[in-house]
Structure 1
Amino acid sequence: MTFSFDPAARYRMPVMFGPTVGPRQGPEGEVFDGSEAPFSVTTVRFLSDAARLEALLPPGFALNGAPVVTVEHTILHDLAWLAGRSYSMLGVKLPVVFTGAEETLRGALLTVLWENRAEPILSGREELGFNKVYCELPEPLVVGDSRTCRASWDGFEFFRLRLSGLRPATPPAPVASDGVLHYAYMPPMGREEPHEARTRVMLSPTPARASRVELYQTGAAEIAFAPARFDQMPTMFQIVNVLADLPVLEIRGASVLKARGKGDLRDQRMVRQKGQG
């Protein structure tokens, strides 16, 4: 008897061994409850150069408001789908409006998301269309009222964010948003097609239920991406160098958030682009 797919299950390569456990599917096909899952986010927002940010935007995207870059260092703790393990993320977002074939959406374009585990990278790239790549993300250094987040690849530190003078504050009201947008790309794999035909715009809708905030602090911030050479980051130097070249004209806010409750993104959907079936 040859291998056959279960139409009700989720798969990732290699599929021949059966359905794959991940954030949206347990060992028995069950759904994990993330309503009490703890997480922490260290965020900085800074004003940059509009022309530099516009150069990163794919067709259909435009800056929405001031050219403010948001950088988030996130830790997801005690994850049921990883049998209690945790992992960290470092993401860079831009404020955008996307005009598609059937709808116009406003939110954040997630340009890149580093993570320090292979499993969420594979799941997010293959199932959701996230621009995920790997790096080392050690635990933040917390000394007194300061918090320092770092990122490195094979020993080369390419990112550092330090918040100081952290103090309790009132969380800001949520900004109206349709969610987080992603510009996904799948290589041709032997098929002769234009690159544009291999792209997809994906939307992570804003969750209907907000996370439960347990701690919120604000403070001053210093942020830096270090320029990298090919020999230091052979597959990602081009990403880091673009980010390192963005001018930090003004810090527009820095915070530490600790909260509970994360969705599993099973409502992720594709948004049809103009001129694409």
Structure 2
Amino acid sequence: MFKLDPAQPHIMPAHFGPRYTGEKTSGWYRDVTVMAVSYVTDREKLAGHIPAPFKLPEQATITVFYACNKQIDWLAGFGYNMIGVNAAVIFEGEHEQLTGSYSLVIWENLTDPILVGREVQGIPKIYADIPDHSVNGDVWRCNASHFGHKIVDLSIADLVPVSREDIEAGEASAKATDNPMTWRYMPGLGGYGAPAVNDAVLYPSENKFSEVHVGVGELEWQKLLWEQNPTQYHIVNALNALPVLEYLPAVVTKGSANLVVPERLTRALGPVASQN
């Protein structure tokens, strides 16, 4: 009979044994291109989507990012695209306080990282069709859709290169707030009643930038009907309802990322408050 080894990296269906891990399966994403558009939004409206013990800073800021990930070690060199939405937050736990970002949602166009990210790291990942970005003159564009209906469009223009000195200074200053966090919620069997998992999560990573450009960003969230996107329309409409009060500088970066940092592994920060 099959016996589960808790020291091995199992995910469902676990009865086939653990996923392969070895020297070929590091957390490095060797070729990553990112577009990120940030803006100030209505603090009270955004707070309605942030669970305790997270709280918003005085200026409520959202960053919508697109990443074209290629040459991924744990995927044997295959890649995928993603579009995520982060809010700047402060985590106030009983034993620690962290300033960082809170992942509201991440769309990805490949099932494998969605399942691993949800089951192993507790990140709120869902599926969308996300084609590679396009560059027309000085304008970069990307988008996501599902069931043939657009979710969001991003564009960045008027790009200006950032010097190597400024890139390194920015990396150093960002270390204090480099704390990607989220809420890991998994319902009990059947989807109702007490949750099986309900806690705050920190999932660190490290990034190396070979190029950084700063520009002017713009985005457009769609407003969808249940008939157009029955499993996600409420998410898209909630993001659409958060107003863009002021755009902040947008960035385009090229480089690499490591999602497995041995000295800063993914961990639970503590239970979140009841949502009742």
Q: Percent identity?
A: 32
User: 2: distance between equivalents of 1:3 and 1:261?
Assistant: 36
What is residue 57 of structure 2 aligned with on the other side? 64
Residue type of the alignment partner of 2:221? F
What is residue 40 of structure 1 aligned with on the other side? 33
Of 266, 269, 276, which residue of structure 2 is paired with 1:268? 266
Q: Is residue 2:187 matched to residue 1:194?
A: no
Distance 1:139 1:230, change over 3 A: same
Segment drifting more, 97-106 vs 218-227 = 97-106
User: 2: distance between equivalents of 1:38 and 1:192?
Assistant: 41
Q: Is residue 2:122 matched to residue 1:129?
A: yes
Task: Let me know the Cα RMSD of the aligned residues.
Answer: 2.1
Residue type of the alignment partner of 2:8? A
Residue type of the alignment partner of 2:106? L
User: What's the CA shift for 1:52?
Assistant: 0.8
Task: Please state whether the residue corresponding to 2:249 is helix, strand or coil.
Answer: strand
TM-score, reference length from structure 2: 0.89
User: 1: distance between equivalents of 2:128 and 2:11?
Assistant: 22
Query: Any residues of structure 2 matched to 1:30-179 within 5 Å, and which?
Result: 30=23, 32-34=25-27, 37-170=30-163, 171=167, 172-173=170-171, 174-175=173-174, 176-177=176-177, 179=179
Q: Is residue 2:215 matched to residue 1:222?
A: no
Segment drifting more, 84-93 vs 173-182 = 173-182
Residue type of the alignment partner of 1:53? L
Residue type of the alignment partner of 1:59? A
User: 2: distance between equivalents of 1:275 and 1:33?
Assistant: 35
User: 2: distance between equivalents of 1:81 and 1:272?
Assistant: 29
Question: What is the total number of aligned residue pairs between the two structures?
Answer: 265
Segment drifting more, 225-234 vs 7-16 = 7-16
User: What's the CA shift for 1:213?
Assistant: 1.6
Distance 1:250 1:59, change over 3 A: same
Task: Please state whether the residue corresponding to 1:32 is helix, strand or coil.
Answer: coil
User: 2: distance between equivalents of 1:191 and 1:120?
Assistant: 23
Query: Structure 1: which 4+ aligned runs deviate by more than 3 Å?
Result: 33-36, 170-174, 190-195
Distance 1:106 1:121, change over 3 A: same
Query: Any residues of structure 2 matched to 1:198-277 within 5 Å, and which?
Result: 198-205=197-204, 207=205, 211-264=207-260, 267-273=265-271
Q: Is residue 2:13 matched to residue 1:14?
A: yes
Distance 1:186 1:221, change over 3 A: same
User: 2: distance between equivalents of 1:93 and 1:191?
Assistant: 26
User: What's the CA shift for 1:274?
Assistant: 6.7
User: What's the CA shift for 1:198?
Assistant: 3.6
Name structure 1 gaps, 5 residues minimum: none
Name structure 2 gaps, 5 residues minimum: none
User: 1: distance between equivalents of 2:191 and 2:131?
Assistant: 40
User: What's the CA shift for 1:20?
Assistant: 2.0
Distance 1:265 1:128, change over 3 A: farther
CA shift digits 1:148-203 (9 cap, x unpaired): 011000211110011112221243344222511110111111698534x7411110
Residue type of the alignment partner of 1:90? I
User: 1: distance between equivalents of 2:178 and 2:80?
Assistant: 26
Distance 1:236 1:153, change over 3 A: same
Task: Please state whether the residue corresponding to 2:235 is helix, strand or coil.
Answer: helix
User: What's the CA shift for 1:88?
Assistant: 1.0
Distance 1:198 1:9, change over 3 A: closer
CA shift digits 1:236-259 (9 cap, x unpaired): 000000111111111111010001
Distance 1:101 1:193, change over 3 A: farther
